[in-house]
Chains A and B, each alone.
Chain A
Amino acid sequence: MNPTDKVVADVTAAFAAIPGGLKDGARIMAGGFGLSGNAEQCIAEIARLKPKGLTIISNNCGNQGKGLAILLQQRQVAQVICSYIGGNPDLEAQYLSGEIAVELSPQGTLAERIRAGGAGIGGFLTPTGVGTLVANGKETHELDGKTYLLEKPLRADLAIVRAAVGDPDGNLRFYRTSRNFNPLVATAADFTIAEVDRLVGRGELDADDIHLPGIYVDCIFEYTKHDNFIEHRTTRPRQGDPTP
C-alpha cells in the first residue's frame, strides 16, 4: 500500500483511525444544509459509538428527526453552533428544556468562521449582525464610516464530510448543492473524514477538477447507498399533464 493512501474499508475503520478515538465532549463539524450533503454513514457511526457531551457545529444539526438529529435523540449533544433550528423538533425541544446550549450564528458568518478556522485567520470584520442580538458581547469596529462586528474563527476535533468523488490522496469533488459547508468544515478540524459516493484511482481526478485538495482529508471511504433524503419534494406539472 502506498504510504500516502488515505483509503479505509468503511466508516468503522475511519473512526478507528482518529488519534485517541472519538471522546466525550468532542467538537464535531459536519457539512450539510439540512439533510442535503450529509455524511450519513459518519453520523450513524457517531450514534453507534455514543460519545456524550458533544458540540456540533453545523448549519442545522439535522432536520425532521433525521441526519444529526439522531444524535440529539440519543442525548449525545451538549451544545450546537448553527444558523437555523426551525424544522428540527428535537433541537427545538432540547433547546427549550435547557438540555442543550445553542449558539446562533448568521449563516454567512458561520461559513466564514469555519473558513477562517481552517485558514489561520484570527478573526474577521463583517457587517452582518451589527445592531442585532448577534452583536451582544462582540467588539464593533468603525472603518471608513462603516460599522463591523468582530467574529472569531471556529475549529473542531473532527470534521465529517460528504463528497461525490474522492481519490486515495483525499482529493474531493462535490455534487450540486450537496457541496454547501462540506469543503469548509474539511479544512477546520484536527481530523477530517470524507465519505464519498465513488472512490476513484490516483490520477483519475484531473488536478483542475478537484474542488478540495486532499491535504485537508485524513481518511476516506466509499459508501454507495446514500439516502439523500428530500425534505420538500416540489415539482411542476408538464404541459398537458392532468391537473391534480
Chain B
Amino acid sequence: MSWSREEMVQQAAAEIRDGMVVNLGIGMPTLVANHVAPSIRVTFQSENGLLGMGPFPYDDEVDPQIINAGKQTVTLLPGGSVFDSAQSFAMLRGGHVDLAILGGLEVNTRGDLANWAVPGKMVTGMGGAMDLAAGARRLIVLQTHNAKDGTSKLRRELTLPVTALRCVSRVITELGVFVPTGNTFVCIQKPDTVTHETIVASTDAPVTFG
C-alpha cells in the first residue's frame, strides 16, 4: 500500500523543525499546517505579505483584508506582521524563510522543478512560484508520483517548463521520500509494503535506496 494523501502530508509536516519560518504552497501543501505537532513552534509566511499566519477564521471573525496567497480568508496570530510585496519577496529571496513546501508537476535528478505551466493547457502564470523555488533556503516538493496519464513525475529530464533549477531538496510522493542527487534519486524512506521494484518501475529516473 502506498501512502495516503494524509500520510504524504504527515511526511512533509515531519520536515518542519522547531522555530522554522515556513511557506506553504497552494493545494496539498496547505494541509501540512494541520499536521504540525503542538510542541513545534512554526511561523507561517504567506507571500502576499503576512508573517505569523494563523488558521482559517471562525465565521464571525472573517476579515476580507486578511487573506493568504490562495486568496482565502485567514487569521493573523499575535506577534504576526504584515508588509508589502517587495518586502515579502526580499525575505524569500534573501534566504530568511527556512522552508517552502510546494506542489510539483515534475522534478528531475538534479533537483530542477517544473510546477507552473503545462503546454497545451491554459497558462495561469507563475505567481510567486519561481521566486519561492529560487529563494527558499530549503524546498520540499509534495506531489503524486505519477501524472494522471501514468507518466512518472520524477524524471531524468523535465518535459514541462522549468520553475527553477537545482532548487529541490526532497520530493515526497505516495511511494516515498526522494532526494535528487545529480544522476539519481535516492529513496530515503518508503511505505513498508511498497517494494523497491514498484518504485523503480514507477520512476522515469534511476533510483537507489539509502
Contact = CB atoms under 8 A, between A and B. Distances in A.
B134 A180 contact: no
Contact of A134 (B62, B63, B64, B130): B130
Interface residues of B, number: 51
A175 B124 contact: no
Contacts of A63: 71
Interface residues of A, number: 57
B99 interface: no
Contacts of B126: 83-84, 104, 106-107, 134
A143 to B, nearest CB: 14
A175 B82 CA distance: 8
Nearest to B48: A33
A225 interface: no
Contacts of A131: 112, 162, 164-165
A36 B122 contact: no
A59 B58 contact: no
A50 B127 CA distance: 29
A129 interface: yes
Contacts of A83: 125-128
B55 interface: yes
B124 A132 contact: no
Given A130-B134, A176-B82, A232-B73, A108 B64 contact: no
Given A128-B130, A128-B131, A230 B58 contact: no
A107 B65 contact: no
Interface stretch (A12-20, A109-117, A216-224): A109-117
A232 B161 contact: no
B130 A132 contact: yes
A175 B85 CA distance: 14
A164 to B, nearest CB: 8
A112 B4 CA distance: 40
Interface stretch (B12-20, B86-94, B178-186): B86-94
16 contacts: A36-B64, A84-B124, A86-B125, A92-B122, A108-B86, A108-B131, A112-B89, A112-B90, A130-B134, A131-B162, A133-B161, A183-B84, A233-B72, A235-B56, A235-B58, A238-B58
Interface of B: 46-50, 55-59, 62-67, 70-74, 76, 82-86, 88-90, 92-93, 112, 117, 122-131, 134-135, 161-165
